[in-house]
Structure 1
Amino acid sequence: MNFFKPNFWDKNQISFISIFLLPISLLIKVLAFLVRLITKSNHFSIPVICVGNIYLGGTGKTPLCIEIFSILKNLKMNPAFIRKKYDLFQDEANLQKKIGPIFQNKKRMNAINEAQQNKVDIAILDDGFQDFSIRKNLSIICFNEKQWIGNGLTIPAGPLRENISALKRADCVVINGKKNIYIENKIFNENKKIKIFYSKYKPQNIDEFKSSKVTAFAGIGNPENFFNLLKDNQIKVIEEIKYPDHYQYPDKELEKLINISKSNNTILITTEKDYFRINSRYKKSINLLKIKIEIENKNQFIEEIKKII
């Protein structure tokens, strides 16, 4: 997804552009339904935990996968990350490689089979909720409380990969943000048995930037969330620069950012994902914010995982 998210996706009201795009959204839904009908679901000898979303991008899947990996290691399991292989989008995979083994394939089921052959005893499927070729043992859907479901429509009329009714197939929801009863009620309307948890990002190296003015840039699903995280932690953000999700930074753009930072008399800061997409020659001029996800009621969340081990 290497494009700027349209502003009308996150408006509470349905715009004229959304209405114009509705026929395409309906066609895509019909095609997805037909694909699901003809797709064979495959069982595996190891449990599969799927961490997915229905809102396209920026919901915190990758940090949650990393936290689940840590939980499983503490439970004496031998987990691995499973991803569909995209040649261009390797920033998230590179981030996970720092944590543990990762298996990628054009077909996720082949990646799981390869993991099994390498003595992995539980799979963390990063994305793949819409991959019906894989039978999941635990399906976790991520949302960001600020964006929620946007205008509630499916792509391209809105930001959703599926309607909210897809939550009927999920076991848990993890909402990154503050407690929101309105959202909880909407979720329970679709699935009364679903478990809801909340999470928040905890910066790991924020003190390094407390005394600095910063120019912040990000090419992620929701760059505003990164900028707000900095400001919520009393970082003086002088300028915010947005790029498309998974943006591949050319040298000229990095040089431009460095010059902007100098003219602002600031330091440059970006996300850990973005940092992996930066030419190594420029990394010494750019800082990254390391984050960890914290799950409220973590012990209850661990119990949900234990049920499928």
Structure 2
Amino acid sequence: MFKGPPFFWYQKRASLSFKLLSPLLWIGQFFYGFFSSLKRKKSTSLKLNIPVICVGNVSLGGAGKTPTCLALYEIILETHPGASSHFITRGYKGSLKGPVLVKEDHTSLDVGDEALLLSQKAPTWVARFRQLGGKKAEKAGSTHLIMDDGLQNPSLFKDLSLIVVDGFFGFGNQHIFPMGPLRENLKESLERAQGIILIGDDIYGVQELVSRLVPSLPIIKAHFEVDQKIQKEFYKKSVIGFAGIGFPDKFYKTLQDINANILDFISFPDHYKYPTYVLRDLVLKAQKTGAVLVTTEKDYVRLPDSFQKSVSVVPITLVFDDKTKLMHLLREHLHG
């Protein structure tokens, strides 16, 4: 079973192993942070003729960027009626460099799992070089470009940058990789953003920390919901869950929240490419126990067609606690 990121990334008190590794981690943190910052400062940003909304995060791993992008798409339709928003993403773990428009015959091996999910909602561009993808989207008629990830990518000028934070994990120990989960200096990233999307209960104390570092930065709270029909379908139902996402425990908690009877749960690495033998073992285990095999939407699109019929999905939707606050932010930064 996949154990996740180093435990000391999310420890408030330094463990013995952390202290022993500290000299090496400090060196790694310094060079990672230095070169990341240098790359951003030396890069030139392209300003498109359409607004670019970046949905990113400061930490490595899953914070909820893709669900936020999908929810944001709907909000933009409310604040800007008639808008034709497109998505742009790197296509992480996909083989295509792009720029390419995601089509029905693409698989996760081609464009990655996030791109497939986004393309179910709106035109989605995969582009390792965001400037090229942005130009393609603009030429294709996009009125707004929503960037899934890319806070640390300076190639496109961003009219609005939103940082997504999971309230349980927060910013971890606030150290830069490999000493901690951060991609860059926390204060520097917050100063480049125009808003924080805080998902779930603020166990970590994100609001207090952000208010201390950048007092003027708006914080918009949000939470995940499962459709009532899905909740009824899985109520007390015996399930075997599996997930290969940034933090598989989040999906485990979702199954608990909808009162499913969890017989077993298997965690895999983020963006895991499921071998046939692993999928066969999962299906066999479910058949032997009479349980329903369940996973996330993100995992489901990575499964071969032949196995999808044996697996059920528990989709989640991001809901903003104060939609009006977000709508005001969009109108303020997206030209009316």
**TM class by shorter-chain length?**
over 0.9
Report the equivalent of 1:111: 133
Report the equivalent of 1:78: 84
After TM superposition, give the deviation of residue 179 of structure 1 in Å.
Answer: 4.4
After TM superposition, give the deviation of residue 187 of structure 1 in Å.
Answer: 0.4
Report the equivalent of 1:287: 312
After TM superposition, give the deviation of residue 220 of structure 1 in Å.
Answer: 0.3
Distance 2:7 2:295 in 1: 22
The answer to whether structure 1 residue 245 and structure 2 residue 270 are counterparts is yes
Contact kept? 1:3, 1:245, Cα under 8 Å: no
Distance 1:26 1:199 in 2: 33
What amino acid is the match of 1:48?
A: V
Distance 1:32 1:3 in 2: 27
Distance 1:302 1:282 in 2: 40
Distance 1:93 1:9 in 2: 28
Report the equivalent of 2:226: 203
Report the equivalent of 1:37: 41
Aligned residues: 308
Report the equivalent of 2:148: 126
Residue of structure 2 aligned with 1:146, choices 163, 168, 171: 168
Contact kept? 1:83, 1:104, Cα under 8 Å: yes
The answer to whether structure 1 residue 63 and structure 2 residue 77 are counterparts is no
Report the equivalent of 1:170: 193
Residue of structure 2 aligned with 1:97, choices 106, 116, 119: 119
**Residue 333 of structure 2 aligns to a residue in which SS?**
coil
1:203-282 pair list within 5 angstroms: 203-204=226-227, 205-282=230-307
What amino acid is the match of 2:156?
A: I
Contact kept? 2:234, 2:259, Cα under 8 Å: no
The answer to whether structure 1 residue 6 and structure 2 residue 23 are counterparts is no
Contact kept? 1:215, 1:264, Cα under 8 Å: no
What amino acid is the match of 2:194?
A: D
Distance 1:38 1:58 in 2: 28
After TM superposition, give the deviation of residue 45 of structure 1 in Å.
Answer: 0.9
What amino acid is the match of 2:56?
A: G
Report the equivalent of 1:22: 26
| Same amino acid, percent of matched pairs | 30
Contact kept? 1:154, 1:161, Cα under 8 Å: yes
**Bigger mean CA offset, 72-81 vs 59-68:** 72-81
TM-score w.r.t. the length of structure 1 is: 0.94
Contact kept? 1:179, 1:198, Cα under 8 Å: no
Report the equivalent of 2:50: 46
**Bigger mean CA offset, 179-188 vs 146-155:** 179-188
Distance 2:162 2:48 in 1: 18
After TM superposition, give the deviation of residue 3 of structure 1 in Å.
Answer: 9.3
* Root-mean-square deviation (Å): 1.8
**Bigger mean CA offset, 36-45 vs 58-67:** 36-45
> What runs of 5+ residues in structure 1 fail to find an aligned partner?
none
Report the equivalent of 1:192: 215
What amino acid is the match of 1:196?
A: I
**Residue 42 of structure 1 aligns to a residue in which SS?**
coil
TM-score w.r.t. the length of structure 2 is: 0.87
**Residue 201 of structure 2 aligns to a residue in which SS?**
coil
Contact kept? 1:72, 1:78, Cα under 8 Å: no
**Bigger mean CA offset, 175-184 vs 139-148:** 175-184
Deviation by residue 1:16-61 (Cα, 9 ceiling, x = unmatched): 3452322112111111122122111221111111100011121110
**Residue 120 of structure 1 aligns to a residue in which SS?**
coil
**Bigger mean CA offset, 126-135 vs 81-90:** 81-90
Contact kept? 1:14, 1:151, Cα under 8 Å: no
**Bigger mean CA offset, 259-268 vs 213-222:** 259-268
**Bigger mean CA offset, 214-223 vs 130-139:** 130-139
What amino acid is the match of 2:320?
A: I
> What runs of 5+ residues in structure 2 fail to find an aligned partner?
95-108
Distance 2:139 2:3 in 1: 37
Distance 1:9 1:149 in 2: 9
